[in-house]
Amino acid sequence: MGELATNQQITTASNSSFLYSFYFLPKEKRQAIYTLYAFCRQTDDIADVGESPEKKLRRLNRWEQELKRCFSQKASNYFDSLRQVAERFKIPFDYFLELIAGVRMDLHNLSYRTFDELKLYCYRVASTVGLMCIQIFGYRDPLIKQYAENLGIALQLTNIIRDVGTDAGMGRVYLPREELSRYDLTREDILNRRYCPEFLRLMQFQAGRAHEYYALADACLPEAERRNMLVSEIMRNIYYQLLLKLEARQYRVLEHPIRLSTPAKAWIAMKTVSRIKLLG
């Protein structure tokens, strides 16, 4: 019970937009999601702690070894509840390793050369989380895996647009260098928070790509699966509205991130639930 409470506390303390969707899950699935999210949150946090890259890498390697040990030996340790969730909902172990590989990319790369490189990062840190979650939600149509992959990339691209300034403060520029060059910008322009017409055009291009991935996700969601994917659809709608707000604010994200208010996210969640229940 204590471990379960800790997982819920980690999830709640994160103040993530995901919270607004978890409340609509049945108790068993909600507890499983808390456990999964706590693992994902703590894995991601390793890249953000105030330590040297070498120390972060050692910490991440220890985290990965402990995970492998638990899943192979079924030892009673911190990861035991995570293993139980993975077994109960048939979550492939490779997804956990992919997530860790994505965080490891964060430690080795302060920027990405091409979109293909960035897309791999997005898949590892976001799509794999979606692929794990759909195992808990339950589905029948295998197309749902493509839905989770595309939606994960769309959400992560939205995060990247929102957090350009925050990431620059940590020396990170996720926008591909090839695309910076195409719009006559450099990595230093982003690090120096240079808001200019070239930056605006670059961000419009990035937002357009995010729209494409939202559309791809929607095309891979059969109507018969929409109720099963209620939690994902709440997330989709919250992040999509965030993307629209970023566009409306002309991507003024270099000084401060643009966010949706708590009431706005709650309203989007309720609207999504009402619409899907009416359709179902």
Nearest to 102 by CA among 127, 84, 78: 127
Least confident range from 29-43, 72-86, 134-148: namely 72-86
Give me the helices (H) in 163-229, please: 164-169, 177-182, 187-191, 197-219
Q: Given pLDDT bands bounded at 50, 70 and 90, which one contains residue 155?
A: very high
Tokens describing residue 268:
């989007």
The answer to whether residues 101 and 118 belong to one domain is: no
The answer to whether residues 63 and 36 belong to one domain is: yes
Least confident range from 72-76, 196-200, 262-266: namely 72-76
The string of pLDDT tens digits covering residues 168-183 is: 998 999 999 999 999 9
Is 277's pLDDT higher than 60?
Answer: yes
Average pLDDT (156-175) is 96
The answer to whether residues 131 and 261 belong to one domain is: yes
- Distance (Å, whole) CA 71 – CA 67: 6
The answer to whether residues 27 and 47 belong to one domain is: yes
Least confident range from 8-12, 196-200, 208-212: namely 8-12
The answer to whether residues 36 and 137 belong to one domain is: no
Any bridge partners for residue 111, and if so which? 173
Is 4's pLDDT higher than 50?
Answer: no
**118 and 208 Cβ atoms separated by less than 8 Å:** no
The answer to whether residues 154 and 270 belong to one domain is: yes
The answer to whether residues 123 and 38 belong to one domain is: no
The rounded mean pLDDT for the chain is 90
pLDDT of the residue at 5: 44
Domain of 91? Answer: 1-14+23-108
The answer to whether residues 190 and 256 belong to one domain is: yes
CATH number (domain holding residue 209): 1.10.600.10
The answer to whether residues 9 and 128 belong to one domain is: no
The answer to whether residues 245 and 167 belong to one domain is: yes
* Residue that is last in its domain, among 108, 137, 152: 108
pLDDT of the residue at 22: 78
The answer to whether residues 115 and 235 belong to one domain is: yes
- The CA R_g of the chain, rounded to the nearest whole Å, is 19
Nearest to 237 by CA among 200, 209, 274: 274
Whole-prediction pTM: 0.92
Question: Does 41 or 24 have the greater pLDDT score?
Answer: 41
Any bridge partners for residue 173, and if so which? 111
Is 77's pLDDT higher than 80?
Answer: no
The answer to whether residues 156 and 238 belong to one domain is: yes
pLDDT of the residue at 193: 96
Count of domains forming the chain: 2
Is 245's pLDDT higher than 80?
Answer: yes
* Residue that is last in its domain, among 73, 108, 143: 108
* Residue that is last in its domain, among 108, 140, 159: 108
